[in-house]
Structure 1
């Protein structure tokens, strides 16, 4: 105040106020600059602390593995790692293998895989305590001694659930999620938490805190997402069973890219209690937790273990429906609906070939195959799926990223969300004649304008589900065989092709159980046919997809198997049939 009065006395009349205003403005700008600089320093410090914690955890596990190796030098590591889950479980149950040997064998392999792929967010040091507990316990659960990896945002006591976001680096989980509690009760040993894309809203796998995860078979490719860390770790041999989550394909896409079996159950079949997410309260298209593994029997064993009285008591919102072994073990011929394109996003030749070959194999095995056309996929993708997540025009998504360094994988989506509603609508109008698919996609991101519109949107999802089920039942289908996005994309392409997930998102909107099974691998003939790929609209998406999957000879090719809600056992039984019939054609 004194300085301003002195300035007024020294300057001509009127100029003192101007100078004071400029000084105040300059001070404000300087303060804002300092505030931003301090904010960036704080973010950088948090990131460095999280990275340091991760590195220290890796070092601790490496020392523990080395100590075990010195104590027990005769372990046949490769023989243990090659055992299928059912055989490994039988050996643990009978005592011919010890949980300690198996745990340290997988810890050692996981260290190797994450050095190649950066798939781990953190080891769980408490796995050694869990090991001691199950060794003392008289009762052996169904997963006794099985090391299990879990996705970043599935809560584990004493650990972060980051979703790749800075604001989550301050909150340590106070207790295990219900899923983790039941896994431990069944004798499993959660030993690692796996990396995810920032915000989980991507099927690439990268975040600014822990970096990018690479494909274990080809480092130039993405392992998929958002359960990409799980996909890379299991496909690389560093885990035999993992838990992921799926809200648009986040179990099935990394399973497809990495050549694994993965199951997205009906959303409420497994407890979601204790699982965190960047945006809460999205109920119209629900999230589901589910297993990922190398074969279908592993998924079935995991579901059998989880669907137990312990889960039903810990979370009474989960329907008390135990695993139906009779349905899973049945050999009754099935009436199978099938399609190889959804008429919205034509997939590469190898993925459509996989459906055709699997259809022929099923028919030859005595199953009845019926053509099936899922109705109105463009409507589902734009009006039902996209509008659910961008009901507010992307405001919540942008707020979630405030104060974060935004990962490049999210930049295209962030830029779309930042456009004002009117600009989105006008741009969609201009694009419509040339690129109708892109125009509809952009228009769907404009959001809703009233509560009434939101209620109507949720009602339309219910109506569509009813119509879909009616069409399914009119054809008297048991299950459906269909394609899924793949093979693994070159890194950088998933961010350009959010609309390509139509094959998976459909069954999130419907809330049907759906799983993927490897059946083949990309051939030279597929690569030649890809050169003729035109897509459906000859728009930037079609051209980007062709580039994303080119040069993928030898990469895994999968199909998708679907059943009606609450029929996970039938879905798994169908997956098992497909797996059995495809032996000899699938990638090792």
Structure 2
């Protein structure tokens, strides 16, 4: 706790110390057989813990302490783990920054002038800053993976509902197009795997019978068979930064040298998937549910640019969308998407489109006979106030929530002077205002961590972790060889 408070003084990453941890210690010996016996765990603000608020960074959820533990916290306690601190989030959770009117802005452990990412940003900063060894976040469009990448650690977004979401608070509950997941964050992959093994137990399947009773498959995780790895450098919607590209290429080379087979992979219709499925799905109600949670308080400065279009009348958004189409097709499509859906039948149509898209991607994956997929991971950490203006980059992570594929971020490198110099040549996929903004967002990143993303098919979380471990080990060996 003392260490977490020291890190908090510098990064502003904690929301509350959980003094129940001290009580828990008195009876900890009754959980000696638990896999996480005596291990301190940090948890994201929105995960229910008896007697404490799950604010989601909004004023209307203050002074509403949870009456019982979320399923995931209950399981952790039964496994002997000690949740000891809650960590900061962005206002409303639907952002990849980490600032709100209650607790303020969380900073990056590597550079205090940068954001830690979000929405599980407090977790990323606390673990990356050395104040926790293991934590839990939630991920709806990259919210575990982005802070893990920005803060130089690793994080896993499992298949949705592999870990119970019961008792996790949200500001957009009921949305079914893009699914949220609870996932672990730590300094190494082995910790993530161990955490998953501890959580996927009889206690969880009993406490929440809607979770498929699939225990952790250690055999798959520990396998060392050569893998058939799909890869892509860009989804042709968001062009990765120079450091992302270099980190991705280096990792791909290491995997090839290690005897794995690498096969090019391409996602179908990404433009359409981003606008008609991800954005339109998350904002099917035009953002009304999120905005309702923000009433009675001011909008955090990091969120203003993102929220502004939600508040425009529908006819204004439609009009602007038509005018912008020939010059800025991406911005036009985005404005059209935030108009939401017009009717229940259109929502059903939207859900059907998502289903079809998932099966189309799975068919492509099967045709190439892939085990896993390697792709770049958003980075490096941004300068402040850019996340709200740049939701366009979320194709990089959000696609895997749409598909409900497990995906993890593994830190593999740091930004070099050369990467920084190459930013001047960055054009992006559209050469529009958003691509120019991205350069400004990541400028001044020398020395910051860069990650890659590892992906597998639904319910193959152990395979995803196994791939992450492979990437982590090859990177570590390579660094060791270079040094000597």
Normalising by the smaller structure, the TM-score range is over 0.9
Residue among 425, 431, 438 paired with 1:538: 431
Contact kept? 1:557, 1:586, Cα under 8 Å: no
User: Does residue 229 of structure 2 align to residue 336 of structure 1?
Assistant: yes
Contact kept? 1:337, 1:480, Cα under 8 Å: yes
User: Does residue 3 of structure 2 align to residue 109 of structure 1?
Assistant: yes
Aligned residue for 1:201? 94
Residue among 483, 489, 500 paired with 2:393: 500
Contact kept? 1:520, 1:586, Cα under 8 Å: no
Residue among 50, 54, 57 paired with 1:161: 54
Q: Aligned-pair distance for 1:140?
A: 2.5
User: Does residue 179 of structure 2 align to residue 265 of structure 1?
Assistant: no
User: Does residue 351 of structure 2 align to residue 458 of structure 1?
Assistant: yes
Match runs of 1:518-529 below 5 Å: 518-529=411-422
Aligned residue for 1:52? none
User: Does residue 24 of structure 2 align to residue 130 of structure 1?
Assistant: yes
| TM-score, normalisation: structure 1 | 0.81
Aligned residue for 1:378? 271
| TM-score, normalisation: structure 2 | 0.98
Q: Aligned-pair distance for 1:139?
A: 3.1
Match runs of 1:355-434 below 5 Å: 355-434=248-327
Say which is worse superposed, 419-428 or 391-400, in terms of deviation: 391-400
Contact kept? 2:11, 2:125, Cα under 8 Å: yes
Cα distance in structure 1, aligned partners of 2:65 and 2:113: 34
Aligned residue for 1:284? 177
Cα distance in structure 1, aligned partners of 2:479 and 2:431: 31
Contact kept? 2:377, 2:450, Cα under 8 Å: no
Cα distance in structure 2, aligned partners of 1:544 and 1:112: 34
Q: Aligned-pair distance for 1:397?
A: 2.4
Bigger fraction of residues in helix? 1
For residue 193 of structure 1, give the secondary structure of its aligned residue in structure 2: strand
Cα distance in structure 2, aligned partners of 1:200 and 1:393: 16
The 1:518–1:138 alpha-carbon spacing in structure 2 relative to 1, beyond 3 Å, is closer
Q: Once superposed, which parts of structure 1, at least 4 consecutive aligned residues long, lie more than 3 Å away?
A: 584-587
Count, aligned residues: 481
Deviations for 1:43-68, whole angstroms, at most 9, x for unmatched residues? Answer: xxxxxxxxxxxxxxxxxxxxxxxxxx
Q: Aligned-pair distance for 1:585?
A: 6.2
Unaligned runs of 5+ in 1: 1-106
Q: Aligned-pair distance for 1:430?
A: 1.1
For residue 425 of structure 1, give the secondary structure of its aligned residue in structure 2: helix
Match runs of 1:190-339 below 5 Å: 190-339=83-232
Say which is worse superposed, 344-353 or 576-585, in terms of deviation: 576-585
Say which is worse superposed, 452-461 or 371-380, in terms of deviation: 371-380
Cα distance in structure 1, aligned partners of 2:193 and 2:404: 19
Deviations for 1:281-308, whole angstroms, at most 9, x for unmatched residues? Answer: 1122111000000000000000000000
User: Does residue 13 of structure 2 align to residue 119 of structure 1?
Assistant: yes
Question: Computing the radius of gyration over CA atoms, which structure comes out larger, 1 or 2?
Answer: 1
Aligned residue for 1:26? none
For residue 107 of structure 2, give the secondary structure of its aligned residue in structure 1: coil
Cα distance in structure 1, aligned partners of 2:398 and 2:478: 27
The 1:325–1:369 alpha-carbon spacing in structure 2 relative to 1, beyond 3 Å, is same
